[in-house]
Structures are given as C-alpha cells and as structure tokens.
Amino acid sequence: MKNYLKHDEWKIIETGFVPEYNRNSESVMSIGNGRMGMRANFEEQYSGDTLQGNYIAGIYYPDKTRVGWWKIGYPEYFAKVLNAPNWIGINIEIEGESLDLAKCKVEDFRRELNMKEGYLERSFKATLSDGKQVEVISRRFLSIVDDEAGAIRYQLKALNFSGSIRVTPYIDADIMNEDANYDEKFWEGIENKNHKGEGYVTAMTRKTEFFVCTAMKYTILKNGKQKELDSVLNERNKYLENVVEIDVKENDELTILKYGAVVHSMNHSRHDLMNVAQKVLYTAFEKGFNKMMEEQREAWDQKWQKSDIQIEGDVAAQQGIRFNIFMLNQTYTGEDERLNIGPKGFTGEKYGGSTYWDTEAYCLPFYLRTSDVKVPRNLLVYRYKHVQKAIENAEKLGFTNGAALYPMVTMNGEESHNEWEITMEEIHRNGAIAHAIYNYINYTGDEHYLAEYGLEVLIAISRFWSQRVNWSEAKQKYVMLGVTGPNEYENNVNNNWYTSTMACWVMEYTMQAIDYVKRADHKRYKDIVEKCRFEENAETERWKEVINNMYFPYDDKKQIFLQQEGYLDKEQLTVDDIPEKEKPINQHWSWDRILRSCFIKQADVLQGIYFFEDKYEKDTIRRNYDFYEPRTVHESSLSPCVHSILAAELGYTEKAYEFYLRTARLDLDDYNNDTEDGCHVTSMAGTYMSVVEGFGGMRVRNGQLHFNPFIPPQWKSYSFMTLFRGWRIRVKVMAGKVFIWNHSGEEAKLYVAGKEYTIPAEEELSIGK
C-alpha cells in the first residue's frame, strides 16, 4: 500500500514530487470525457520514468498474438486501444536549458485532480542547473460539452532572472504502446499542416485503418497581454511544432493557452477530418479557456447531482467513493452504442482497453441508477450487435446451430484474448451477459427489450450451454468439464458451481423470455424463430433436461456449494496463514503453487450467491461466506465489492466497511501494487454498489423498490440519489434514522425494512427517532 495522497472530499492531491510514485499519480489523476482520455503526464519534457498515455474510445489495433504454443481456437490478435497522438506537449527551454523535472531541483510541487469540476492542475517551483528559477501553474481538462476538444492554461513565471524563454507547443503522433507485442509502432503518418499558432496532424492506424486528425491552436500572453506570435515552424513525419522565443524580465509571467481537437473516421468522413478538426478547434478557441471551464463546471455539476454519494464523518471514505464515481462518469457517457468500458478506462494500456464481462456484471448497475435509461440500454445493444461474432467465436471451438460464446476480450465482437485457460475456459462470461439483460429489465421494466434485442442473444447463449455440457454415466448427471470460474487461480476444473449455476439459470430465463415475447409480440417472435432457425419444442426440451439433471458439487458435511469438484482435496488454509512478505501471492508465488493452493483470487461461489441471493436462505449464504471469504486473497479488483455487499446482508458490519474501504481506495492507496498500470475502472462500479446495495440495502423485487439500510459506525451519515422508472429518489441514512426524498412529479411507493411506504411527489419520508 501507498499512502502519499492527501485526504480531501473533492480532490486528489499529491504534494511533493517523488519520481517513484509518478506513474501511480499519472494513473490516478487521469482525465477523460467519454470520447477520449489521458494520463496525468506533464506538458513539458520529462526524461524520468513515465507512461505516456492518450486514448481515443473505439480506436484500436489488432496486435498479433504472442504465445509459445499455438493451439486451434486461439485468437489471431489481442485488441489494444492505442496510445494516441499527444497534443498536450509544451516544451520549455530557458536560456537553452530544458525545463525537465527529472533534472532540476523541484520545490512546492502539487498535482491535483479536481473531481467536482473536472480538471487537472499542477504547480511547482523549479531551479535549473545555473540557478535560474521558474514557477509553473498548469490546468487542463477534456471538455464534456465539446467532447472532441480540450484546453490547457500553462502559466510560467521568471522568479529571479531576465533572459530568453523558448516555448514549443507540439503534436506528436510518432508514439507507441509500451505493451506492444512486437515493439511495433501502430500509427502511419498521412498529412501535416503547420501554421503560425496552429497545426494539424492526420495519422492512420495500421491494419484497422482508423484515421485520426489531432489539432492544436494556441496563444501566448505576457503579463496578461497577448503576444504577436513570431513562430518558427518545424515538422517531420507524424510530428509538428511551433517554436516561439520570448524575452522576459524578472517576475514576468507567460500564459500559454493551448486548445486541442481530436476527430476521427468513426464519426466523420476521413477525407474531411482536417476541416472538421479546424471547426472544433476554432469553436474552442473562440469560447476561450474561461468560458470552456465554466461550461465544464456546470456539466460536472449536473453529473454529480445524479450520481454523488455523500458521506459525513469519514473523509477517506468520501474521497474514495467520489473518485470511483468520477472515473466512471468520465469513462463512459452512453452516447454511442459502439463504445464500451475497458477495465482501465482511459488510465493505462493494461487489458488493452477492451471490453470484458466486467461491464455487464459490475458497470451496468451503476449506470442503471445514475443515468438516463438509454445509457445502460446502449451497453446491452453493444452486445446484441456482436451476437453474430459470438456465434462465429463458438464455431471456432466446434459449437454448432447458432450457439454463441461471447468473447472474454473484444473490441469488435471477435475474441482477442490469448491465454487458453481464459479464452476457451472462462465461459461464465456468457452468463454475465445474459444476466445483464435480466438486470436491465428487472430494474427499468423495459420488457420490450426482450422482443427487440434480448431474446436473440438469450437463445444463442442457451444453445451454447446445452452443447457445452455432457452426460456422465458415472454420475448419471450432466457435467461441465474443463472450465475456469471467476477465480482465475484455478484452471481447467470440472463442474465449477458458479458456471453451472449460471448455465442453468440462463436456459431457464430464456424459456421465460420466450413465453413473454410469444404473448406480447407474436409476430416478432415468429421473425426471431425464422431468423435464428429456432426449433422451440426440441431445443427447450433439451434445456429442461439439462436443468433438471445438472450436477452441482456440494459438501454435505459443511453444507456448502463446492467451488468445483475436488476443491476440498486441496490443503485447506486461510489467508491469515500466508506470511505478509508473500502477499500478494501473484507477485511472490509460482503459478504452479497458486494453482495447487486453495486460495481464491475473487468471489466465485459468492459471485453466484450475490447474483441470486433471493434464491438462498440467509443461513446458506452465511455458511458459504464464512467458508470462502477467509480463503479469498482479493487480488482481483472485482472481489472486495461483492464481499462487502454480502457482508452487509449478513450483518457483518465491520467486514462490510473493511471491504468497502478497500474497493473504494484500491487505486488511491495502491492495495495490489499495480496502480501504475492504470486504475481499475470497471470495478469502481462495484464500489458504488457497496454503498447503495450494501449499506443502503437497495434491491428491486417484483418491480418494487426496496431499502434495508444501516450505517457503519465510522460514519455520521451517508446519502445517495437513485433513478428508478422515472423517479428520482434521494436516501439519507443516520444512526437510527432514515430520510427519503421523492424528487419526482408523481408519488412513489417503496419498501423500507419490509414495510411499504407511499411518498407524495416532491415530499419527504422520515423513519426513526
């Protein structure tokens, strides 16, 4: 763990420059606007350790798979969201010496992410080798109003000298990914246009042929007065710069206002990109930095009104939850159904920026509660539009008859993960995608989605499950062999309880969906039958047979669901038995040792119990939780939130709070020693759910909204807003008291601790002393 960031309710603050923490801070203070994002790199040159990162949603490269032993069914590539052209650069030279924080004395360093208003700010004093001192204050943001634009205000003051300062704003598309499999560069230069005060670089991704035009326009003020730009223009393939020499006297201040535009061929004709970029750029320039900043502030205020969670009495917890919500809101806006949410968002290269099952299992509930219904709906439509690719993925593994296996990792629907135990075995992702359809409809009441999109997906997934099992003569049951469950510290196991449970549930839910669509829209149902070549009687009989005869491993003595067959053959230890110096085990143990151990990376059995808790008695949940949680090392970012929610349900208040704080501050405190690679964005939705579902006890049952809240003793109060079927409900919880506001134009009927209440429009309910 690292504990160098200051606790503040609305800001992430780093004081004092420690180069060893730079990559961490670059991750944690990343900014984005749904269309694009960037790490908190310096504008000026930095020769120290850094991970340069600019990212554009949807722009990727199919990096050829690199494996030692190729197996049939392997994907040919790993999809990677690319490190995109860098437009933030402003190099500074003072009397010929570069301003480089790796080479000069740095004082009063402060880097700050303002989450309330959506900007990154940095300030410092630097002493160069010859004793000259400068003070710098920079602020930048990516506009969520003009989402193809961003702006920088870079202020530099000469503290103790008179002389010449060279300012070099530039665009650099000659960049690469640090995680490139073959050390390739993925961009080809197409065209540069370089003028005094502005420039344009158009580049194309190799293979995928996405065209991106990156543009800059800037002005320089000296002591508040605009300077006439006498620029020297330099350029080469994929790079251009303007060089401006300015004479200054002691205490003179320069202000560089730089605007960036990023447009691409997913949204515009590739032949018109420079014209489009110029329009975006000039719109930003004409508004000016202050106007754009004001719009940014107002736009973020609207987002916070819908999604903020307020915690009184615990600054660390408050900062943690707002950090998680901020990252989610700046990563995905739901405006474009072609886009999805990568595990690292716009904060780093790891996991390729591609789509995983995290979206359906963790992110969807956040957007259901905080966004217009089109936002979570678009997440589902994204998968619907990939169903044919999912069928092709299954065909590559030998499945037939329109069976679909959704990819573990994808950008376009094709599988692009290159580890066999994940690609071919971690098939439970199919269940998460189906469960997301149920979750969406259960929450919104939008049953029409089944007829429009959902049923086709469910049929294809159910076909997969019915083919993936086989009949065991020995057990006289259907079995699911050779799988990897959510616990990736087990591979190639038989009868993983979670995977088998999800398979049976999906087939059962698909039959319910068929009955609904037949009744509600018979014509559409007939179209689906014809399109999918669906043989209802034969196929549903097969599904029923599998459901009724599936083998689920269970231990009668302990009365627990077994994670997989043979799990109890392992030496049964708990996490307390692992020496502290050997944690995390994935950074200290061999893979062989991990696989043979009983230790669990993340919720596996408990993931299934979380999804279907209403099916199980509380004693059943408690026995499984008490057995599996002590064996769980939580070395996946997706793990603590599920355990926090279940602990809250069981009344384990301290455990619920412990896991909440761990998930909320996972990246801020670098629990798993991996934040330098980027933040764990998709798991952040689980942090939100730890409060709303865990402490708030929020559930939707039979179309009705339920709360069963309690408050951790470390807090004085907490409150959250949730959207539900046209209602805007705000809940505030204090010790012994609950307040619920209905900020809607109609009355709201809901349940608190099992008791029904009716709250008139725009009125408040108070429960307790």
* Contact (CB, 8 A) for 405 and 73: no
Spatial contact of 38 and 87, defined as CB atoms under 8 Å apart: no
CA 657 to chain centre: 22
Would you give the end-to-end CA distance of the chain in angstroms? 41
- Whether 115 contacts 326, CB under 8 Å: yes
Angle between helices 429-444 and 497-520 (to 10 degrees): 40
Can the peptide bond before residue 584 be classed as cis, meaning omega within 30 degrees of 0? Answer: yes
Strand 554-555 versus strand 560-561 pairing type:
antiparallel
Count Cβ atoms below 10 Å from residue 537 Cβ, excluding itself: 7
- What are the phi and psi torsion angles at 731 (to 5°)? -120, 135
Residues contacting residue 19 through CB under 8 Å, at least 6 positions apart: 48, 49, 102
Distance CA 686, CA 660 (A): 9
Cα–Cα distance for residue pair 233/470, rounded to 1 Å: 69
Question: What is the β-pairing status of strands 119-127 and 105-114?
Answer: antiparallel
* From 26, 93, 488, 565, active-site residue: 488
What Å distances lie between residue 296 and 114, 119, 439, CA to CA? 12, 9, 32
The conformation of residue 677, written as its DSSP 8-state character, comes to G
Length of the chain: 769
Tell which residue, 122, 140, 141, has the closest CA to residue 13. 122
SS3 442: helix
476 φ/ψ sector (left φ>0, alpha ψ -120 to 50, else beta)? left
- How does DSSP classify residue 270? G
Cβ-contact 477, 549 below 8 angstroms: yes
Let me know if 295 is a catalytic residue.
no
∠ CA 241-242-245, rounded to 5°: 135
DSSP type of residue 550: B
Is residue 72 classed as helix, strand or coil in its secondary structure?
Answer: coil
618-627 long-range contacts, CB within 8 A, separation 24+: 618/649, 618/650, 620/559, 621/646, 621/649, 621/650, 622/650, 623/558, 623/559, 623/560, 624/560, 624/561, 625/650, 625/652, 627/558, 627/560
Token pair in block for residue 325: 């919500």
Q: Give the Cα separation of 475 and 200 in Å (integer).
A: 67
d(CA 382, CA 542): 29
Tokens of 402: 């329109």
Distance of alpha carbon 581 from alpha carbon 589, whole angstroms:
11
Residues 6 or more apart from 325 whose CB is under 8 A from it? 307, 308, 309, 370, 684, 688
The token pair at 49 is 């350790």
Tokens of 51: 């991970």
Q: Which residues pair with 632 in a beta bridge?
A: 600
Hey, which residues are catalytic here?
488
